[in-house]
Structure 1
Amino acid sequence: MAGRILIVDDQTGGRLCLRVRLTEARYDVTAAASGAEALAALASAPADLAIVDATLGDVPAAELCRRMKADPGLRDIPVLILSDSRDRAGRIAALRAGAEDVMAKPVLDAALLARVRSLLRVRETRSETRRRDQTAAGFGFAEAPASFEDPGRIALVAADAATGDRWRDGLGGLVPDRVEMLSPDAALDEADRARAADAFVIDADLPRPGGGLSLVTDLRSRPGTRHAAILFAHRDEDAGAGAAALDLGANDLLPVHADPAEIAIRLRAQLDRKRESDRLRRTVEDGLRLAATDALTGLFNRRYALAYLDRVAREAATRGQPYAVMLADLDHFKRVNDTLGHAAGDVVLRTVATRIRDALRGADMVARLGGEEFLIVMPETDFARALPAAERLCRAVADQPVPLAQGAGAQAASVRVTVSIGVAVGGGPGSDLFETPHALIEKADRALYRAKAQGRNTVTADRPEAA
């Protein structure tokens, strides 16, 4: 299953209809008939997303959301509220309570599923942020929360001057950040600035090929704007554009004629999330560089990796979800060192480390355990997802030769290398509750040994049917 979703609706028909739509999309769906039942269900089995009907009988949806956000164990769960009403005050109240979105019923399947996918990515990012912050704290490198945040920069990219003026004038006094109007070309130039805009509000109807959707894609593809918050403004009747924008990387959607208060609330939430992610990257890149990274490859080292794996295992046990462990080992690496020299071997290790890291999801962790062996940890991953990922890693390493710099094996311009990978999965339904992460590494090691014996450049799993 792709994610665990809790439906909260006191109408049986509404629960059943939504359950069918989400189950058909391969989500793990549970349901609650009241706010109190929802809180009890979340306390026993946290969800990845809560979809709440706005007209609950026992507690308003906004109040349920407020209670969830006040609970440290539930605050990272995104909340999507479905409402029969387009009441402005109720919509803004729900957003102020912490809801990620309020969608008007009836919701088209494409729009709903795109929003679900987007919010599950939010949940994954939040979980990874907490996990890495907690691991960093164990090393004594947790960053103290900033007591003061500099104002952000918000770029408005509207289809016409009237829309841009309305957005800018409406936000005046509602946000402490600097608000600028930019053309699409100027927005793209942000990627080359020393400090790019923190957030973009992009009109769907921009007068350029592909409209606003093409600008979303361009901003996400450029290093300078890759981590910016993107809000996509579209017309209510064009739900398809909104769904496409979410799948292309937009963080949030807005009606083009949204109330300024709603735009401000959504911008504030997205800027807060961006700052949290920025702090995480600074902690990892700066505070942990010496204590937790391998000097040669820039990957995490054994000490960090084992602490991280322990945390993933505890989280998996709490949530009843699987996680995968892989051991990847370079094939015939001694031959590289013996024939081309240790300088060439260092180039190979650095290149392979980069290829593995680039082929993984952002939520996955890769570390160099020592020598030519790498550990990969993939949260919320079963064999059905882990094995194709491992095959992808093999291809990423083997498809192109490693170029060697002058002086690093000067007798060869490049060298072809491959890896063998052993895979094991822990956690999830039917798992051994007493299995330790160390035991899972041993399973992956046995699988790796078999992969070597089967000819190398291959993937083998340690599981009952493979024993």
Structure 2
Amino acid sequence: MKILLVDDDAMLLLRLSKQLKQAGHQVETVKDGKAALKKILECPPQLVITDWHMQPLDGLTLCRTLRDSPLGESIYVIMLTASETEDELVRAFDAGIDDYVTKPVSLRVLLARIKSAQRIVSLQEALTREHAALEHRARELELLNRKLEQLAHTDFLTGLPNRRYAIERLNQELAESRRGGRPLSVMILDLDHFKRINDTLGHEAGDRVLVHSARILRETLRSCDVACRFGGEEFLVIAPDTDSHDGKRLAERLCHAIAANQPELPLPAPLTVSIGLATASPGEDVKTLIHRADVALYHSKEQGRNRVTAAA
């Protein structure tokens, strides 16, 4: 065991230190409680064997100080005492000692007490390791659960939130909008002639166009806006604190950004987007709000694509 031996008797320190080292223990020695506290802070032992009566800090005060500190809670303490009176032993155990050995010290008895201490300390250390392992496993599980939750709400291809997240978030934003009396706009974006891209260049090229479009959305939108992949070539944008006028301006900016930033592919036609915009009305639910944006998107498609239509 790692033992700290504390006694103001230099001859006793020398003798016990030598005997304990011969018994296979690692032993450090100090001459009083104050020096013991300093040594414990530097390199905590498993076991402290301390005399009771020392100056300037006695063994009883040393023990109380250890028990008041998280560092000293788990250190096993054996008190060396010349007295076995009932009152003094009760005082010592109240101060936090684990065991005692009377003076003059019998090496045989002390080694037996140390062996008993070693069993208890080993159990404590095993429990501490098990607790640390459980905490580590709990942190890993928590991290894994967060990752799984994130994956459940993320579109694998574009990295944007998916349809499930979009509906949940829109419900939250609509509730916040009602409570605060703030406007909320929603837009559905559909990449024009996307089927032609897949049919002409293949689905891999189509995937590249989707990833490219998602990046343009992220770069163009404001920090408060939420862009989601809604399905296929459709995206949904939630724009909090945005009325129909500002929503129209934001949607047109997105429309221009997509047209101005073409992917490096031999597309059959320039990439453009059609957008349907709807601003929440009092008492309107998410399903109705999305439906109005979808109808507005249909009108954008009907009117020639590459444009924004606001719902009535």
Tell me the TM-score normalized by structure 2: 0.52
CA contact (8 A) 1:328 1:373 kept: yes
Tell me: CA distance 1:297–1:414, structure 2 relative to 1, closer, same or farther (3 Å): farther
| Aligned-pair CA distance for 1:413 | 7.8
> Aligned pair 1:418/2:272, yes or no?
yes
- 2:150 is matched by which residue type in structure 1? R
1:248-287, CA deviations, whole angstroms, 9 ceiling, x for partnerless residues? xxxxxxxxxxxxxxxxxxxxxxxxxxxxxxxxxx99x946
| 1:200-219 mapped onto 2 (5 Å cutoff) | none
Aligned to 1:339: 200
User: Share of identical aligned residues, percent?
Assistant: 49
The whole-number CA distance in structure 1 between the counterparts of 2:272 and 2:264 is 14
Aligned to 1:352: 213
- 1:371 is matched by which residue type in structure 2? G
Tell me the TM-score normalized by structure 1: 0.35
- 1:387 is matched by which residue type in structure 2? K
The whole-number CA distance in structure 2 between the counterparts of 1:422 and 1:451 is 7
> Aligned pair 1:444/2:293, yes or no?
yes
1:279-321, CA deviations, whole angstroms, 9 ceiling, x for partnerless residues? xxx99x9464311100011100011110000000000010111
Aligned to 2:150: 289
| Aligned-pair CA distance for 1:416 | 2.4
Moved over 3 A (4+): 285-289
Aligned to 1:455: 304
| 1:227-266 mapped onto 2 (5 Å cutoff) | none
CA contact (8 A) 2:197 2:268 kept: no
Aligned to 2:63: none
The whole-number CA distance in structure 2 between the counterparts of 1:397 and 1:312 is 26
| Aligned-pair CA distance for 1:401 | 1.8
> Aligned pair 1:363/2:224, yes or no?
yes
Secondary structure of the 1:403 match is coil
Tell me: CA distance 1:286–1:363, structure 2 relative to 1, closer, same or farther (3 Å): farther
| Aligned-pair CA distance for 1:384 | 1.5
Aligned to 1:432: 282
| 1:117-132 mapped onto 2 (5 Å cutoff) | none
The whole-number CA distance in structure 2 between the counterparts of 1:461 and 1:345 is 28
CA contact (8 A) 2:178 2:282 kept: no
- 2:170 is matched by which residue type in structure 1? L
The whole-number CA distance in structure 1 between the counterparts of 2:254 and 2:272 is 10
CA contact (8 A) 2:293 2:310 kept: yes
The whole-number CA distance in structure 2 between the counterparts of 1:289 and 1:340 is 32
The whole-number CA distance in structure 1 between the counterparts of 2:282 and 2:164 is 25
| 1:78-227 mapped onto 2 (5 Å cutoff) | none
CA contact (8 A) 1:402 1:416 kept: no
The whole-number CA distance in structure 2 between the counterparts of 1:373 and 1:348 is 12
| Aligned-pair CA distance for 1:358 | 1.2
The whole-number CA distance in structure 1 between the counterparts of 2:268 and 2:305 is 20
Counterpart among 389, 394, 400 of residue 255 in structure 2: 394
- 1:402 is matched by which residue type in structure 2? P
Number of corresponding residues:
170
Aligned to 1:324: 185
Secondary structure of the 1:328 match is strand
The whole-number CA distance in structure 2 between the counterparts of 1:327 and 1:461 is 11
| Aligned-pair CA distance for 1:393 | 0.3
CA contact (8 A) 1:401 1:415 kept: no
> Aligned pair 1:305/2:305, yes or no?
no
The whole-number CA distance in structure 1 between the counterparts of 2:216 and 2:208 is 12
Secondary structure of the 1:432 match is coil
Q: Which runs of 5+ in 1 are unaligned?
A: 1-281, 405-411
The whole-number CA distance in structure 1 between the counterparts of 2:255 and 2:162 is 21
Q: Which runs of 5+ in 2 are unaligned?
A: 1-142
Secondary structure of the 1:460 match is strand
- Of structures 1 and 2, the one scoring higher in RCO (CA 8 A, sep 6+) is 2
Bigger helix share: 2
Tell me: CA distance 1:414–1:402, structure 2 relative to 1, closer, same or farther (3 Å): farther
Tell me: CA distance 1:306–1:413, structure 2 relative to 1, closer, same or farther (3 Å): closer
The whole-number CA distance in structure 2 between the counterparts of 1:311 and 1:318 is 11
